[in-house]
Each structure stands twice: as structure tokens, then as C-alpha cells.
Structure 1
């Protein structure tokens, strides 16, 4: 890593806590599980980091990587800490003291942590140092682990305990949907964290409707997302298989890579399902979404659903599960929903396909336009400025 890390002296620490309102705001973003092909979390972290920099906030991003590195970017400093690979392309920082060294050098006025478990020691350090903390909640842990294990009752108690700890350890918890907020709202006992709902946005320029030539082929379905259990790609493929079994002419294009591709190809069998792998070019993803007739985003425990918004922004209606944050993004004019099983979702696809194409596509774009990154970014900038304002001490 370039440069020598040093700890600030006591005067620097006092300035961070008690400095005047004119002191610069310095936000440190921390995220584990960000890899080369990361999806929603990486988009959020990058969008917010760029927004902080544009707003005149000094920004530091700390992420895991194959080796130590430090880079000055157009959106602030990015520090990569050497970390072991844990799953696929994902790495995990396992030496929190190294993160603390970087933070002590940067002297942040607030921390934004996109991790509910592995970076908790950093939150405890911040509490001792008097640095306000923001937990950006990207997943509903109980639902996600239940989906992975198939045993919801076995994870309920430990997840409830974890959420209780989080609400006592952080100053602010940011959630993106009512569904994401629910797991925190019912946690009993005292808490120090305030709960703030901040819906995400969508890039309305990149993800936009395209001209569509007359088409008389099979119903074009698309699924965009990482091929890992928590994103429910198996349910999307099984829905296409069910439609094919019914004799409905369909084709499902699966956009994304991940550890379960072999399983999904076996599940698809002879059904018309095409796997395209990870597509890094966002414009190409938008093109494929825009040319589809219906997008399948069927994960029942999605806390928000950026893929849903991206499809809607392209004018493509969406079928989703009847639970989860993705359900909150669509209404009866731009999509359909059903219980998270292949038969029910296939019914939802057929219902949606029977509607007026022009009306549903117009409604899809209009719905997406209600979710702008500008609003999300402004809310988070204001939040960091608010929590770093010095407390007023009565005379």
C-alpha cells in the first residue's frame, strides 16, 4: 500500500468530534463482498461515493482485494486491503485492525458501512472514537439465510439477536423499502440507531425504451441477476420451464454469472432458456432488457430490486413475487405478482402478457421515473452532514 499509515494525535481526534460546523465532512465507506462482477451493492456504493465527492465531501472507500493498493480517483480515495477469497470472486477482510489504521489516518467525520456482520468491529471502534456510524442495509439477513438453507426457523433466533446488536451498535440504519425496515421495526429492547428509509434510484438515461420492430415470435422473457441462491434464479428458470410445459411459446434470456449456472442449465432441460453469462457493459444489459416483453425478478426476499427498476426504465413490465421489496416497486399497471412458486408465477406471466403492450410499457417507464438517483444521493448527503454537525451544548 502506498504511503505510511499513522494514527492521529489527540488534537486531531478532538477536532473530528468537536470541530466547528465549517470543518469538512469526511465520509468513509466500507464494504466487504464487493468483487469484479458485483451487482447492486457496488452500484449503490459507487453512486453515493461520486455524489459525496460532487457535494464537496471528502470520501474514502475501503474494499477487499487480491493485494494492498491505494488509488486516487475522480470520486475520492479508494483503499484496497488484501483479503482472502471466500466465494467465487468475492473476498473478505479478516483483519479489521488494518481497516482501523486506514481510518485513523483519514480521520472520518462519519462512517457508512455496507455490511451487517463482518465489519462490526469497525463500528465498535467508531463508537469509542466518537465517529457517527451509518449502516446501509442491503439485505434482509433472516430471509436470505432461510432461502439459502431452506430452514427459516433455524435462523430466526440468531438473526433477531444480530439485529438487536446492530440497532445498539450503529447510530443510523438506512433501509431501502418497507420490507427491509420490517426486520428492524419488530426488534425488542433498547436501541440507539434511528431507522431511515431511502429508496434507491435508476439510471434513466442508460436504461431507456428502445424502438421495437414488429415481432411475431415467442414471448421474450429476461432474468437479470447473479446466479446465486439468494437471487432466486432457479425460480425464474422454473417459471419459464412451466410455461414451456404448458405449450406457451417462450424464450428466457438469463443475464448474469454465478456459482449455480450448471444447476440452472440442468433445470432448464430442453426448455428454450439461453444463458449469456455476466455482461459488464451496462448499455448492453439495457438493450437486452428493452427488447424483452417481460422481466422476471422473482426473488421473494429482495430488499429493493435495482434489476426491477432497470427493466421498468426500459419500458419492460415485470413479474415478481408477492413478497419482498421488489413487490413495492410495481403496481397493476406495469407488472404482476404471485406466490413464489413456478405455477403461480407462470399464471402471472400469462396475465401480464394478455394486457395491452403499449399501455404496460408506457406505465413501466412512468413508474421508473419516480425513482431517481438524484433524490437518493441528496438524501444521503444531507444525512451525513446532519449527523456530523456538532452537538449544541447549553450554556
Structure 2
């Protein structure tokens, strides 16, 4: 098959979607498929990469978001026609939802990947009250299901808003590179810092409002108030970076520059005693999975999909600084917490994730062929 993927919300400093696109694309190619990808770029550029042929097309910058979005339907439609795919995989259900109808008109199978929880976004990031927000999300999700042959979600939390409308959605968890993201200490012999030694925390994730990174900062404040010698390193960029640096100016918090080398990132994260993952709307939480793979137990919120990913590898807490501080203390006292973190991460791998995606692509390819024959 020739699999064409299209994605917005991909930038040089973005995380989960970009990582998933690369991992899936590399696996698709390894299995003998032809793979193309269209993503936003500062201009027109075509490169051949490990994940396939990548088309970077002009896009419109979104002020304060760190992203650019593809809006030119006519130009993109012509490019997609020229690429001539057998199936399409679209990672955006808003600005690119029209692509499902494009594929249907051309007899091409289509899959939409829902990387976001629309209900949560409307409730938390718009002035729309909860009941109308649920109604609006249901309408958008129903239309997406009508336009595409298959809907894929990375977690049961993400799929729930489809399930409540009786819409069949495939749950395909993401994966992690267990060789790159691996422990730098022996997880079976690890011991928490002794009294008088600092506890090292890490926050790894985009610094944007929906990720709620301020909760990590306030957790450090609470632990300091309790008398703990604690230091936090923040990995990640985003529109809230300057505001958070000012907020943490009186705390032992260091904001690290963006690290493009994943091996270096893994080595730095792996030195932490505990990680903090506060995002309430995560539909998977790849950053949390990567730090778990480094053998670092993680405190996560009881909202969203993070608790599905962290599982036995960490501590699930309400989204308050006090509760997160309790979680840090509990993980420092938990026997074999680092070994359990690594074991939890080993349940996820990109090979299994990509194989499930390929099975869905093959299914929609057959569905499109049956439509053409009928």
C-alpha cells in the first residue's frame, strides 16, 4: 500500500504526534509499504527521510501557540492527488476533517486519529459551558465518524467521547523506544536519596496551558514548604515558558533548553528520582511513558489518560500541589519503584502499535475497494 499521512500541530519542538508519525512511518516502510507525510513547514520542501517522503508545505502560524496550520485546501488537494495514495491517515479532526470526504470521492480508504479529547478542550479552553461543550463535541465526533472509514484513539479516555455516541473507535496505544529510553541506574538496586541529599525531580512536557505545567512548579513549592531538599529540572518548551520561569524564580527549578537528541534527553531524565506528569487532558502521555522507560516512577493526575499509561509505574493523584507532593513522598518510600516504572513501560512498544495501525489501514483499503466494486 501507499500510505499517506497528513498532520497539523507538528513543529520542530513538538512531541507526541511527531514521535508517533516517525515511529509508525519507519515501521510501515520496514514492512514494505510506501509512505508519504504532509506536515506544516515554513515553506515548500520535499525530503526523503527514515519515515518516508516528507512534504513540508506553507502553513499559517498560530500566534502564541508555537504551531502553524495547513489551511490551503485547494493546494493540498492537488498535492494529495499527485501523491496518489491507497489510504490516508489524518492526525487532525478539525482543520483537516474534509480529507475524509476527499478520500471517499476518490475511492480511497481513510483513517482519522483523534489525538485530542474535544470535550475536554472545549470545557477547559473556551468559555463554552459544559453541557453545550459536550453537545458540540458530540456533533464534531459524529461528523468525523461519518467522514472517515475508521477512527483511532490512543487511549480509552480518548475513545470514550466516541463510545458515548455509539461510535466504534479503535484504541491503539502508542509505544516507546525501549533502547533509547532506558535506565541509567540499576533499577533493582536503586535507593532513594538519604537524609541530607537532594531529591531530583523532572518535568518533561510541553509548556502550554492544556498541559498544566504550573502544577509541577507548585508541587516543588509544597515540598519545599514541607522541608524537603528538592530540585526540579523542566524539559520542554511552549508558550508558558517565560511565565513559568518567573513563577519559579524563588524555587530550586531549572528550565533546560530544548534537547533534540533523544539519547541525551533520556540520559538526563534517567538521573531523576521522581517525575511529575500533570497534564489533565492527555489522550496518551508519551513524555510520561518515556520517563517511565528510563526507570523513573511518575506522579500523574487522575484526569485524562495518564493513569492508563503510568499504571503500576507511579502514583495517581488529584490535581493539587499537596496531593502531588504526597505522591512524590510515597514513591520515594515505595520499594522497587524504579523497577516497577521500567516494567510498566515495557508493556508498550512501537512495533505492536504500528502493526495494529497497519491492520486498520488494510481493513479500510478493503472497504474502499468494496465500495468501488459496488
Q: Give TM-score scaled by structure 1 length.
A: 0.87
Match of 1:311 in 2: 291
- Asked which structure has the greater CA Rg, the reply is 1
- Are 2:35 and 2:51, in contact at CA under 8 Å, matched by a contact in 1? yes
Aligned to 1:391, the other structure's residue is in SS state helix
What's the C-alpha RMSD, in Å, of the aligned pairs? 2.1
Match of 1:242 in 2: 222
Match of 1:34 in 2: 10
Q: In the alignment, is residue 386 of structure 1 matched against residue 363 of structure 2?
A: yes
The alpha carbon displacement at 1:270 in A equals: 1.1
- Are 2:107 and 2:371, in contact at CA under 8 Å, matched by a contact in 1? no
- Are 2:29 and 2:52, in contact at CA under 8 Å, matched by a contact in 1? yes
Larger relative CO (CA 8 A, sep 6+): 1 or 2? 2
Match of 1:50 in 2: 26
Q: How many residues align?
A: 364
Match of 1:104 in 2: 81
- Are 2:92 and 2:114, in contact at CA under 8 Å, matched by a contact in 1? yes
- Deviating runs (4+, > 6 A) in structure 1? 392-395
The whole-number CA distance in structure 2 between the counterparts of 1:351 and 1:228 is 28
Q: 2:181 aligns with which of 207, 211, 224?
A: 207
Aligned to 2:356, the other structure's residue is in SS state helix
Matches within 5 A, 1:152-231: 153=130, 155-187=133-165, 194-211=168-185, 216=194, 217-231=197-211
The whole-number CA distance in structure 1 between the counterparts of 2:51 and 2:199 is 42
The whole-number CA distance in structure 2 between the counterparts of 1:255 and 1:152 is 33
The whole-number CA distance in structure 1 between the counterparts of 2:7 and 2:356 is 20
Match of 1:124 in 2: 101
The alpha carbon displacement at 1:160 in A equals: 2.1
Q: Give TM-score scaled by structure 2 length.
A: 0.92
- Are 1:96 and 1:122, in contact at CA under 8 Å, matched by a contact in 2? no
Structure 2 segments unaligned to the other structure (5+ residues): none
CA deviations on 1:264-299 (whole Å, 9 max, x unpaired) are 123224121111132111112111221101110121
Structure 1 pair 247–72 and aligned structure 2 pair: CA distance change class (3 A): same
CA deviations on 1:102-128 (whole Å, 9 max, x unpaired) are 111122111100001001122221122
The whole-number CA distance in structure 2 between the counterparts of 1:309 and 1:176 is 13
Aligned to 1:285, the other structure's residue is in SS state helix
Mean CA deviation greater in 340-349 or 173-182? 340-349
Q: In the alignment, is residue 339 of structure 1 matched against residue 318 of structure 2?
A: yes
CA deviations on 1:323-355 (whole Å, 9 max, x unpaired) are 2111012234x2111111212111222222222
Aligned to 1:242, the other structure's residue is in SS state helix
CA deviations on 1:38-77 (whole Å, 9 max, x unpaired) are 1000000111111111111111111111111222334322
Mean CA deviation greater in 259-268 or 309-318? 259-268
The whole-number CA distance in structure 2 between the counterparts of 1:349 and 1:143 is 27
